Amino acid sequence: MKLESLNHLLLATVSTLVFDVGAFAQETATTTPANRLVIHADQGKTTISKHIYGHFSEHLGRCIYEGIWVGEDSPIPNTRGIRNDVVAALKQIKVPNLRWPGGCFADEYHWKDGIGPREQRPKIINTHWGGVVENNHFGTHEFMDLCEQIGAEPVICGNVGSGTVQEMMEWVEYMTSDADSPMVNLRRQNGRDKPWKLRYFAVGNENWGCGGNMRPEYYADVYRRYNTFIKNYSGNRVYRIACGASDGDTHWTDVLMANAARHMNGLSLHHYSLPTGSWSGRKGSATKFDEKEWFAVVKHAQIMDDLIVKHLEVMDRHDPRKRVDLVVDEWGAWYDVEPGTNPGFLYQQSTMRDALLAAGTLNVFNQHADRVKMANIAQIINVLQAVILTDKERMLVTPTFHVFEMFTAHHDATLLPTELACADYTFESNKIPGLSASASRDQAGRIHVTLGNLNPNSAAELTCELSGAKVQKISGRVLTADDMRAHNTFDQPDRVKPGSFTDAKLTAGGFTAKLPAKSVVVLELE
């Protein structure tokens, strides 16, 4: 072959190769998007306990008084002193359980102060939260009435820090026994003949801190002692929750599991999201923040995942049968209080940033539903990451409320395994996965997918492959806003609320969706 012919052949081959590589790259970019979700619709085995979506009510600030309890003589519409508007809202998000009376307050609360004629109940000082005087008008009967009105199971947190074993034992008897005994007859005297059903009882709260500053070795022994006297009366069986660790303190978990695992049903974990990362000094504003603080808060959804994994590793070493559940009974965002409010009342607003934190965290809980069986956001009304805010007779629901309402589709549904590959959300030199997701199948066979786009600046194109199921219909709702600081106020109570989502389309193997920036989306597949 002549040299000229060889050169022409080589040039043609190179040109073909360059063209083919370019075509391959273009095809790959088209068929392999940056955001890809696979849902294994035929592999679900684990039930997502509805109790993952629990709430927390403490005698703190205006959570109980004004938020829940206004008294029977209040001009605010109420049923036996409990606000009707609050009850209606809480029923809307299907609150599965409610934790009470604390929090730090629990370990200085003596339950007998909160029973009997209200005018005769002694007043106490709330030393933890603002030094205000409590009149004890909201006690055991009122709390149980609230739970019955909203359809929630009570979660009672007992006093270990300053209470006695006898006091805790008698409280459980007072609430759950049907015997002819002094405690039960006292309950009858106070207007309740039949016992209440009480499944969940926590033996102390944060006993490593405000609940007594105990060492784990000491608390493990204290827990074993107090737990011995929590009896199962009249067919009621108590699920016992031991005080667990704060954040990444796996040593506490290790000691508790080694010394008390066989005496507990659940071990708690507490974790709060602080944009500045510091408990001392400025925590950051709930409404006046920049993208750096946005990023720090939404990142905590991934931190929650890491914490769960680390604590479960320790728990499973001592409990290979996985009998003891993980109970995340305090979580949420913690900011500086709103200007002009009592620093001890922890009153803060809730924005789209908190909605994304809530959605990301709830998706994490769903993914760990085999071991996380209960969680409680802090707190339900007027405190920290509340779902409801009140101002005298006025009430509003927050973006966090809307997330809980959108996620009710997951309650007691079957978790569907998922695989998510997504582009990172990058801020400065830091990055986190830009999307969060979980999926479930309800008893009617409908599949629900909850998605969060953590990036406040960019929409995200998502392709989903649905394995093991064929669907004929897709619909959805979206929670988003034009401003990442957007929130509801008493003058604009509906600024942030869910709307119809139409940017999801069925494909031969699943669906595609375009998720707006800073959005929470729930899809229903039938």
Dump the DSSP string for 182-250.
HHHHHHHHTT--SPPP--EEEE-S-TTTTTT---HHHHHHHHHHHHHT----TT---EEEEEEEETT-H
Q: CA 299: distance to chain centroid?
A: 15
For residues 246 and 274, give the distance between their C-alpha atoms in angstroms, rounded to a whole number: 14
Q: Are strands 266-273 and 325-333 parallel, antiparallel or unpaired?
A: parallel
Q: Are strands 474-479 and 499-500 parallel, antiparallel or unpaired?
A: antiparallel
User: 214 and 201 in contact (C-beta within 8 Å)?
Assistant: no
**Tokens 């909850």 sit on residue:** 450
| Total residues belonging to the chain | 526
Rg (alpha carbons) of the chain, rounded to whole number: 26
For residues 365 and 221, give the distance between their C-alpha atoms in angstroms, rounded to a whole number: 30
> 90: which strand partners?
none
Could you tell me the two tokens for 403? 């997330």
Determine whether 330 is an active site residue: yes
Query: Of 206, 293, 313, 405, which residue is the catalytic one?
Result: 206
**Tokens 């499973």 sit on residue:** 316
For residues 526 and 523, give the distance between their C-alpha atoms in angstroms, rounded to a whole number: 10
Query: Of 330, 461, 524, 526, which residue is the catalytic one?
Result: 330
DSSP letter, residue 123: P
User: 374 and 52 in contact (C-beta within 8 Å)?
Assistant: yes
Catalytic residues: 206, 330
